Structure 1
């Protein structure tokens, strides 16, 4: 049967008036917590609980899912669960319904658009917020039962999209009201519409049945005097479907005039009193369900088969027996206590690896089974290995070493702890392959026994021990500083230590031994050695051996440089008749040396000065006060290794040549300006408007050698020829070039003179020096002409 209830406003006096009018006290009274603010939400619980604490009826609570100004998305984060917790703690102290439950309508009429928690477009946030509230309330009391409550008409979405899940819902509720402007004046037909409409009363029953849930009418009402058939059909529908509860809206608040207890709509009121009496006093309970079994133990890794399990079933199943299974095998039982909890000490099946543990319990409604928790049994100790990184004794297995570094293996990523006796040496983490290295600090010379151990995640410990003797090999050092040298013979010095006096130090140049030395009583040694005969870097080291092994020094570096630097010296300008006759009027000198080097210049025993070569090695220097006449200059440079390179240069210093002269001639085409200089003649040609038309430069480059260059009006070379005459005048070589000094052809005239008669030849060659013409002449020598 269905529990009866009423909403009579927030006024116990109105509730009393309703009870007097209907002729009995309803089972429940419907309440609403404030949703205007979180402060109003928090204060509503103690206020309403105190207001209604002396009322004979039990309580059904409408709890907002959020308040104005706070979105569902914000509530979904859990940030407002503290308000839900305060509400749960207060409501848990209020009077429960006759079936022992406190019913909570969570975010009612969410499928409408008028509440702050309207779910359309916010389905995921509504669901999560609903779940947050339920989890919070259940943490306070298991008396709470949660109603997922829709509006039967006026909704704007498919409410199923906002269903929070069977775990979070106990009752499917709905709110339904009759008004002629909505449902017509035929009240019976109007009720049928409530049943058949989308998401109406029939949908409520079908959805609840599909999810194994009870149903309730959380709010209903009529607002006209013709509603008697509607009232009769509604109460019959509730009885026929064994609804948990119903709440009539006996109020004119909230925009709906449904109050009947004042005598309004008397015909409908009489029908209501008659119909409600069939439900009055009846008690309905939620349908009995199979136990809800849970294991609260977390499972995990264990190195023992004996474990203690704990879990819950529920106070309604106190006294029943929980059966614990490892896979399909029962391994223990436990009695459900009065608080709904149970615990059992069990022994897992004797096998390594994963164990799926579950629990079940049975009542009159059937058997409930928990989800499984997993235990992983591992009773096998890890394998740990320990040894020396390097056995430096006379045998690689004699366990004598100068190096205390240890190495070994364990489980990949495991922490390995090392100790000697009761002294902790430290720990190290094995790499992804299980390998590890560890060097203990402060170990004294002598015998040692080291323990390496690892405890795995299950608590199993594996270990290994290793005994060895720690000794010192000679500590060898070279005290000589090395550096740059221009000789292979060097003297080295160093130390070993007084304990190794009398041993022999071996000196190496790279990998080649170049000498030995005896360690003296004071631990020092010295050796005169010859470095390997090669230029550049020499890495010199020394080693010594005793019973514990061989010690080697750090290397020092010698750089051998026995090659003198190359120095070049010459004139900046040879102003003689030839550019190579070493005759000049300019004493300026130029040359090359090593980049950045200091170049010293002298003549005989007279120092002329010094100059620093630039980054390319080039330098210039002008000696002061050189007298006219012959000079031999020495330029020298000493490099960092002490090697000295030099060059000498002899030249004649003469007085300056006479200044050049220019003469202008008038010719048929215009003017020629002929400028005569020391070793060349420049002829510039102009038209009568003094516009340049060309130029010719004839240069006496050396005795018997003349260069004739022809230029256009822009002084761009057109062609050139070079004539060389032997000293006796018997042979003339003339070579021709184009504008870019590419060789084009040549002519050679040869004269064989015998008195006044002679024989001559004229030869012509192409650009590849292939002869193209050869002509022979005979005749008299007249004024330099040849008569063939």
Structure 2
């Protein structure tokens, strides 16, 4: 026997053993009335094992839920031990309690489970989180993959522009999340993302639109290998590889579409550089290519100059950069397809100014410099001998060009003075009598002298008069200034 007791007027009875019965003890009870009649038996088995502590889910205070031993009573109190409420775990162990008024953010919720035998579990706790997470970040997408960031552990729920579900995923411990639709979303699809934390609080939405259109191929400028630059769709990532597809590097086009990349070591001459542009959604453009040119162009030539115009030749397409003797910029120009270049200063450069010129090719390679000095001093006027129109001659500063025109300014021809300053020009057809001949001297710098003039005299003078002579003296008259040439009967002088 364990003992006996008597049911009170309401039929309730209780018995306290002197020593608590051990777990698993089978207790059998029968009831015996005052007349000695005995009931059939009832049995139970002592359960002295406390249930496990319940699990309490994160809560935003609207409802508190979790799991516990099936059938256990879950008793909820706040951090000060004040009752919140209680509920019973169902046959699957799930339980939920909804306060009449949502619990405020930061409320500590304690839960213990009590089984039907009266054993109480240890406590479990959570703290009410009623604060919504920040809106997630959703990256641009080409519809194949959707990704972004959110509060670590948050569930990211994705819907389209009509509110239809796309899918959901969970942000990892670093807040990164990614979702791959079963079928890529079409271009133009609106994607909305909301983050929901473990307590059930939902953030505001974030939105992006699917972009499946590839950007245009970038433009890649000629390069000498020190810097690679060009243009692309604003914000696009420009990915650079060599001719074998090996990575060189990558950079991002700015808001104006300009991009630039500086290799750690200059790329070698002849290397092929290929560039593709990838937009924020991951769409890749077609390629663009250039070949590294690290060979400097030849030095330009610079013609003698009087300071009004500077000209010369250089590698076709090269930029010719002009500075003075102190390195101060004069200006720059581009050599045409034949290699000719010319620059006109805003104000003519003064006599004696040193002009330096270097050629820079499209890849940025600089030639060695060449120099000239401005010569703004005109040469002396030439001398112009009397002419019968067959040949025109005279003298001038050695090496100077003599330019001949007629009285109307029409060209007759030009000649270069030799090292002694003598010059001569033979017209294809003799100039007629009376033709005015003008001559100016022009030096290598383009400075012009003042003019000199003569008139063609193609008319023979009248025969001279020769006076009778005794042979001692021969005299007579002739055209003033004429040279009289005397010969004997054999024509000898």
* Bigger strand share: 1
* TM-score, structure 1 as length reference: 0.21
* Bigger helix share: 1
Looking at both structures, which has the greater relative contact order when contacts are Cα pairs under 8 Å and sequence separation is at least 6? 2
* TM-score, structure 2 as length reference: 0.30
Structure exhibiting the larger radius of gyration computed from Cα positions = 1
